Amino acid sequence: MKKITLICTLLLLVNTGFSQKKKDLIVKISELENQISALTDSVSVAKRAINTSNSKAQLAEKENAELREANATLLQNLTNFSKISKKNTETVNSALTSLNLKEQQLRNITDTFSRNDSTSIAILTQGKQVLGPDANVGVSNGDILITNSLTSLFETDQSNILSEAGKASLEKIAQLLSKNPDRELSIEALNITGDFDVSYLQAVAVANELWKTHQIPAERLRLITRDGNFKEGILIRLSPDYKKFYAMAKENM
């Protein structure tokens, strides 16, 4: 009986110890569960913070990428603008150079016209001095025109033989021609009857007199016969050297 009582007592003591330990374990488990819950909440907060940080980082990366792309585009645009600006500057400079060249060419042509006009006026003054106040001399489009009637040069209006008065007139004309060797010379026989054979022989007579008697170079003499449009006579025309002028203009163009 005593053994049974002892055993029961021991069992009671053991059971009581286990019960106490169970309570302690339950308390410990509760504490651990609370810690786990707190840690879980912390992890959740941390995950949300990480997600937020990742989102911000991704947004920042996207913004940085867009900014880099915008900067690259801006840089390319600036490069293109610089190239275009340089090309435009070169184009403008080239245009200005070409314009200055054209202006200089036009100035040369204008100066040549002005010189020819001034020369024509000077030759007209010479003509009046050399040929006398009664001479029929004038200017037309830069050309000096010396008009001679047939009867003032030839024995008759149908003759190709120079009269003494005609020879004297041609001597004065030769003096004027010698003073202006750079002028082209044409002898124009004007006719109103249509008999150009006679007109041509009269032009030849004048040319021979200037050439053989007064040493006017034959290469300067150009003979023309044409309808005088109700006028007849011998027209001696002194013109600027248009071939030389055109050659100069062509060279400068």
Residue pLDDT, tens place only, 124-170: 888 888 988 888 999 888 899 999 999 999 999 899 999 999 999 99
In a domain, 231, yes or no: yes
In a domain, 197, yes or no: yes
- Show Cβ contacts of residue 138 under 8 Å, excluding neighbours closer than 6 positions: 124, 144, 145, 147
Higher-confidence residue: 168 or 253? 168
The total number of structural domains in the chain stands at 1
In a domain, 97, yes or no: no
- Looking at residue 211, the DSSP 8-state letter turns out to be I
For residue 131, the domain's CATH number is 3.30.1330.60
Contacts 24+ apart (CB under 8 A), 160-163: 160/198, 160/201, 160/202, 160/204, 160/205, 161/205, 162/205, 162/206, 162/209
Q: How confident is the model at residue 103 (pLDDT cuts 50, 70, 90)?
A: low
In a domain, 21, yes or no: no
CA atoms within 13 A on the CB side of 198: 16
In a domain, 24, yes or no: no
| 203 C-beta neighbours (distance < 10 Å), count | 24
In a domain, 67, yes or no: no
- Two tokens at 114? 């002005």
Q: 196: domain range? A: 112-252
d(CA 108, CA 167): 41
In a domain, 200, yes or no: yes
| pLDDT one-digit tens code per residue, 42-55 | 767 777 777 777 77
Q: What amino acid occupies position 43?
A: V
- Show Cβ contacts of residue 86 under 8 Å, excluding neighbours closer than 6 positions: none
pTM recorded for the entire structure: 0.55
d(CA 104, CA 85): 28
Say if residue 190 is exposed, middle or buried (CB neighbours under 10 Å; 0-12, 13-18, 19+): buried
d(CA 125, CA 253): 34
Question: What is residue 137's three-state secondary structure?
Answer: strand
d(CA 51, CA 172): 117
In a domain, 181, yes or no: yes
Interval 221-241 mean pLDDT = 90
Q: What is the model's pLDDT at position 179?
A: 92
d(CA 173, CA 148): 11
Kindly tell me if the per-residue pLDDT of 108 is higher than 80: no
